[in-house]
Amino acid sequence: MKTVMLPALALAALLLAPGLRASPVKPVPAPAWKLKDVDGKVVSSEDFKGKVVVVDFWATWCPPCRTEIPGYVQLEKKYAAEGLVIVGISVDTDGPEVVRKFMKDVGINYPIVMADDQIQDLFAPIQGYPTTLIIDRDGKIRDRKLGREPTEQYEKRILAILRPHPAQ
């Protein structure tokens, strides 16, 4: 009985651990995309040219995703004037109504779009939720994380891209 429980507990701890995998990545161009928001309006990656964009793959049924979202709301308020945009890509399959209600309940202040069949392939690998990427002002993916991370820690990584230090 104990040998069966240990792997299950280890897996649960791994899935719920903050900052499961997070790291800067070799800058590669972010894919172009067009998706519909919860109201059916088309939102495109082109809408965010010249901004630092945090792209968050998430779902209403995902506890670590739900834990991170209030932090993203704060970061959007704090840094929008400097060119930060958070974009949530919901992978919920129960439709936009569920997501719209969640957005209202939580007070999400940034664009949320509904995933389609191709978007996860464009940003592959998406190995779990939340998967979050930071795209710089030049449209290059600079950071990728799998799992949740405390807002204060993630904010530092965002700021390194939002406010890069000049080369010395």
Looking at residue 5, what is its pLDDT?
36
Q: Please, what CATH class does the domain formed by 21-162 belong to?
A: alpha beta
Looking at residue 25, what is its pLDDT?
72
Looking at residue 7, what is its pLDDT?
36
Spans of the chain below 70 pLDDT? 1-24, 167-168
DSSP for 21-81?
EEEEEEEEEPPP-EEEBTTS-EEEGGGGTTSEEEEEEE-TT-HHHHHHHHHHHHHHHHHGG
Cis amide linkage into residue 29, ω under 30° from 0: no
Looking at residue 13, what is its pLDDT?
36
Looking at residue 167, what is its pLDDT?
61
Looking at residue 125, what is its pLDDT?
87
Looking at residue 38, what is its pLDDT?
96
